[in-house]
Amino acid sequence: MTTSGKTLKPNTSVKSALGRLASNQLFIPILALILLSLFVLIAKPSFFNIEFKNVDGNNILQGNLITVLDKASELAILAIGMTLVTSASGGQDISVGAMIAIAGSVVIRVVKGYAPDISGGQFAGMIITAFLLCVVVSALFGAFNGSLVAFFKIQPMVATLILFTAGRSIAQWINNNENITIKDNRFGYFGGFIPGVPIPTPIFITAICLGIMALVLKFTNLRLYSQSVGINASSSRLNGINPKMMKLLTFIILGVCVAVCGFIKVSRVSQIRYTTIGNAIEMDAILAVALGGNNLGGGKFNMTASVIGAYVIQFLTTALMSFKVPSTAIYAYKAVIVIVLVILSAPIVREKLNDLKKKLFSSQQTKVKEVS
C-alpha cells in the first residue's frame, strides 16, 4: 500500500478547501443557520431590524437578532456541559431542566432573606453568596448523577431520570413551596439589562462561559481524556486515565453550567416558578449537541458545533414566533425542521454527501483532463 497523499493529488487548492469545509463538522449547523436566515430574509426582511429603544429610562438594543442571542444563552451554556457528558459517558443528562429549578430555588432562597434597599456593596455580597451556593449545590447534584453513571455503571439516561423526576419537588422543598417574587430590581440585571449597557446581560455571561471553556480546552487535556474515555474506556485506563473520574468530572462541569442557567433564569423574571422553569430544556440541549453533528454515542466532539446548534434552535423558535405561529403549534413546526437538520448532520448522511462530493469533483477532474 502506498503511504502518502502524493499519489492522489488534490487537483486545486480551492477545491480541496471547499472539500475540507464541506466535510467539516461545523458545515451543517452553519449551513442551517445561513439557510434559515435567507428564508427569513426573503419572507420577512424586517426580522433583522435592530434599533435603540428607551425602556424605563434605559437606552437598549431591541430586535429579533438580539432576542435570539439573549434567549439562547441558557441553551448555549447547557450545550457546553451536555457535549462533555455525551463525549465521556456516551449518554445524556435529562435532569438539567429539573436541576435548573433546584439551582434557581437556591438563588431565590438566599436572595429573599435580604431587604430590597440594601447598599450596593451588600447587594454584591449577597449575589456572590447566592451564585456560589447555587454552583456548589448544582455541582453536588451533578456529582450525584455522575457517580451513578461512573461507579454504578447505570445508563446516563436512567441515572438522570431520578433527578428528572424528583428535581422540581426538591426545588419546591428548598423554599417551602412558597411563590416568591424578589422586589429588588437590581436582581433583574443578570437576566435583563444593566443600566447604561444596551446589550442584554445573559449575552455577556454566555460569552464568559464560552471563553472559560475555550481556555479549559486549550490549557488542559479535557478534550483528549473525555474523548478517549468515550471511545474506549478500557484502553484509556491502561494508558493511565481514570475513566470513572473523567465521567464524574463531566457531570460536575454540566452541574456548574446548570447553576449559571438557573441563575440567569430566575433573574429574568425575578421569581421562581417551580413547574415551568427550564421546562423541556434538556431536550433542546441534547438536540443542540446532535445538531452540531456530534455522535450521541460518545467519543469525538466539536464544542463550537454544539454551541452553534443551540443558536440554530433559538433562531428557529424566534423566527417562528415572529411569523405569528401560535405558541402551541411552534413545536410541530420546529419538529419538522429539526428532523431535516438532524438527518443532514447524521454521520451516515455526511459520509454519503462526502462520497457524492467526491464523485462530483472526480468527474469534473476527468473532464478537465479531457479538455486539456
CB of 3 to other proteins, least distance (A): 5
The residues in 111-150 that bind other proteins, with binding defined as CB under 8 A, are none
Half-sphere exposure of 174 (CA within 13 A, CB side): 26
By C-beta, is 178 or 355 nearer to other proteins? 355
Regarding 58 and contact with other proteins (CB under 8 A), the answer is: no
By C-beta, is 45 or 240 nearer to other proteins? 240
Site for other proteins (CB under 8 A): which residue of 240, 348, 370, 371? 240
CB of 347 closer than 8 Å to CB of 9: no
Regarding 7 and contact with other proteins (CB under 8 A), the answer is: yes
By C-beta, is 233 or 307 nearer to other proteins? 233
**120: Cβ contacts below 8 Å, ≥ 6 apart:** none
Amino acid making up residue 173: W
The residues in 284-303 that bind other proteins, with binding defined as CB under 8 A, are 299-300
Site for other proteins (CB under 8 A): which residue of 27, 164, 225, 263? 225
Regarding 13 and contact with other proteins (CB under 8 A), the answer is: no
Instruction: Return d(Cα 20, Cα 23) in angstroms, integer.
Output: 5
Instruction: Output the CA torsion sign for 226, 229, 231, 236.
Output: positive
Kind of pairing, strands 50-55 and 58-63? antiparallel
Instruction: Output the CA torsion sign for 230, 231, 235, 236.
Output: negative
Site for other proteins (CB under 8 A): which residue of 2, 46, 54, 372? 2
Regarding 239 and contact with other proteins (CB under 8 A), the answer is: yes
CB of 81 to other proteins, least distance (A): 18
By C-beta, is 171 or 222 nearer to other proteins? 222
Site for other proteins (CB under 8 A): which residue of 42, 238, 336, 348? 238
The grid cell for 310 is 443551540
Instruction: Return d(Cα 294, Cα 260) in angstroms, integer.
Output: 23
Instruction: Output the CA torsion sign for 347, 250, 219, 136.
Output: positive
CB of 6 to other proteins, least distance (A): 8
By C-beta, is 165 or 235 nearer to other proteins? 235
43-51, 122-130, 222-230, 305-313 -> range binding other proteins (CB under 8 A): 222-230
Residue 58: enclosing H or E segment and its boundaries? strand 58-63
By C-beta, is 26 or 283 nearer to other proteins? 26
Site for other proteins (CB under 8 A): which residue of 89, 160, 172, 227? 227
Instruction: Return d(Cα 51, Cα 64) in angstroms, integer.
Output: 10
**227: Cβ contacts below 8 Å, ≥ 6 apart:** 87, 88, 299, 300, 301
Site for other proteins (CB under 8 A): which residue of 98, 148, 222, 310? 222
How many residues bind to other proteins according to rule CB under 8 A?
A: 29
Regarding 241 and contact with other proteins (CB under 8 A), the answer is: yes
CB of 159 closer than 8 Å to CB of 145: yes
278: alpha, beta or left, given left = phi > 0 and alpha = psi -120 to 50?
left
Instruction: Provide the 8-state DSSP code for 45.
Output: G
Binding site residues, other proteins, CB under 8 A: 1-5, 7-8, 218-222, 224-225, 227-228, 231-232, 234-242, 299-300
